[in-house]
Amino acid sequence: MESDFPDSASDDGGFDLRQEIARSAFADMCHDWERNQKYDRALQLTIGRIHAAGREAHVLDIGTGSGLLSMMAIRAGADSVVACEAFRPMADCAEKVIAANGMQDRIRLIKKRSTKLTVGPGRDMERRANVLVTELFDTELIGEGALATYRHALEHLLTDDLVAIPHKATVYAQVVECPLALSWQLLKTLSNADGDILLRVPPEVIACRGTSAVFDIQLSQLPTSSFNVVTEPIPVFTFNWSKRHELINNRFAKNVCQARTSGFPQAVFMWWDLTMDLEGDVLLSCAPYWAHPDQKKLMDQQQQQLQHQQQTKRRLPEGNLIPWRDHWMQAIYFLPPLKLPLQRGQEFVLQSYHDEYSLWFGLEADQQVETSPVDAPHCSCGWHIAQSRSRIGQMNDSLRNKRYLNFFERVFSSDTVLLVLSEGSLLGLAAARMGVKKVLLYEPNAVSRRCMETFVEHNSVPNVRFLPAADALEPEEAATVTHVFAEPHFPSAILPWDNLHYGDLLKNLRTLLPRTVTVIPASATLYALPVEFLDLQKINAPLGSCERFDLSPMDRLIEQHSAYADSPVEAQPLWEYPAYPLAGTIRLMEIDFVDGFEQTKLERGELVVVEPERLNGIAVWIDWHLDGGHSPKTTISSGPLVPVEEASDEPVRWNMNWRQGVHLLRKHPNRKTIIPWTVKFNPTMNNVYFQFDYDE
């Protein structure tokens, strides 16, 4: 594709840089209409008030990205604007955007970090600015280094009477009891169908608080039936962005709370809001829908729209009433466990902490007993390092485990020698506890292997040997194997079908294994579903114009690098992004692990789409068939919880413990009712390639 953008990737890390550009959140932020409009309104109010006071408005835009906020400042009447951007490809793009909008002579663009700017006649900034507009925030608010950046700017780049946009931020915490969220954090006891305990969780794993990495999530999509609200939202920290002495790295706050319901306080839901202007007229909230300040107004608006659109049965899910954004979500933090539940009306103390980049929380159930400060969480058990949260959710999935264990009871015996080609598989240990003769566990990762060893030691699991590599399986031992099992799971897998690595391992061991060996799973099936996403498509959609500014140069930059670096199908937890099915599920390809796995496979077909103009994405997932059949009782699916047989006005219900694959249409609306597709599986590269031909 011809482009006037320099090939900056060739100088700065090649593929990784291109992918960073393609998957950056710049376009996602520009699709956030509420963010854009409230920044715009705050600039208009602030600059207007400064002019009304007889002063000039000199604006500094830190981390300008596309240049959008700088252009808004010019439109609002700023007397001067200096914009800085350190990410060179984005800075070059901002230069083109500003020029495309005829503002190149009014905005001074400096391609460096704000901490490198110089002030004075003939320097980067002719004078200190008295208006700071910036967006330095992430889901955790301070995770991108906002505190240090603000402190430096306040000391070196801004006047004493400056006005910051946004003016301040408030962090909210809501204490909840949420077994679903806890299932992504804490491993559970594994029992068989009769309730007999097979594996108990070691105490050091139970006591571990996990990692400090933020658990960002679209809380509005979490089923309200999955959590019990223990408190109302509580403001725990305020950050005044114009007060340098208040922007310190380490703070601790205590809030006396009253339990509104009985229950175990297991987690904190966190979000923040921005007061955009000094007078507090403009508020931008990242709250989930049930706590959003505009919830009632937005619900009333939807009711009015439905009255005028009675022909459609599609009702916007309640969680999608509020403005959508993916660059700022909400977060979950896990609390140290309490031995006794709180009673309704009981008072307790919520402890809130932050350092330069992170937040965390603690609890005092008894106000009379002074507790020690709670340190920032870090994983001491290894499981939260070796496995993702969604993987821990899979391991705790009772229905999934029941299907595996019921199948084990049918096919294993006391003579079974089981080879497990899956990493971090407690089900392999469960098989040993069920009385098989021997279990050989493939565990090449030292951290994962040590995690598994703690379960073996704590549960006195007999007849288990770990294999640090596939070639550690001795020929004499391989000859005794009666069954090969994989969940399959490998920590390196991003897309569900990346776990086809199991077939590659199996293929390489075939010559050592008996011909009569039973392979579990015996096959897998790839499926696709054409859908209309309500919002997810925005992360890949062209901007065109934004708040009446031409942002097409940024579209070209992202498209250029996306074509080079992006896979046609990317991984997303689709339960967080509601979508309506526009057809029934389509079978793409069957992959056999018993026979013929080493052969390249090519499948072609067609998707027939209802209302093709609504199509903006194609979901893809894989099902694993334990015995080669397609019975639900012997199938482990990473896709919908309920089979999708036709187009529907009800959103798809996705498995919440898996990331699915999704192909997002960059050019839409689609006009084709019939969409040809091609899928190729290359076992040598262990890759699956997809092509969907929806262009006219």
Catalytic residues: 135, 144
List the structure tokens of 313: 């049965």
Q: Tell me how far apart the alpha carbons of residues 300 and 321 are, in angstroms, rounded to a whole number.
A: 10
Backbone angles phi and psi of 667, in degrees to 5: -110, 115
List the structure tokens of 259: 């339990």
Q: Tell me how far apart the alpha carbons of residues 578 and 534 are, in angstroms, rounded to a whole number.
A: 6
Q: Is the peptide bond before 488 cis (omega within 30 degrees of 0)?
A: yes
Using the structure block, give the residue that is written with the tokens 């579990």.
Answer: 520
Name the burial class of residue 612, with classes exposed (0-12), middle (13-18) and buried (19+) by CB atoms within 10 angstroms of its CB. buried
To the nearest 10 degrees (0 to 180), the angle between helices 426-433 and 398-411 is 40
Do the beta carbons of residue 170 and residue 240 sit within 8 Å? no
Do the beta carbons of residue 265 and residue 332 sit within 8 Å? no
Cα Rg for the chain, rounded, in angstroms?
Answer: 28
3-state secondary structure of 673: coil
3-state secondary structure of 466: strand
Other CB atoms closer than 10 Å to residue 378's CB: what's the count?
12
Report the candidate in 512, 521, 328 with the shortest Cα–Cα distance to residue 427. 521
Q: Is the peptide bond before 669 cis (omega within 30 degrees of 0)?
A: yes
Q: Tell me how far apart the alpha carbons of residues 130 and 693 are, in angstroms, rounded to a whole number.
A: 52
Using the structure block, give the residue that is written with the tokens 């658990």.
Answer: 215
Other CB atoms closer than 10 Å to residue 227's CB: what's the count?
22
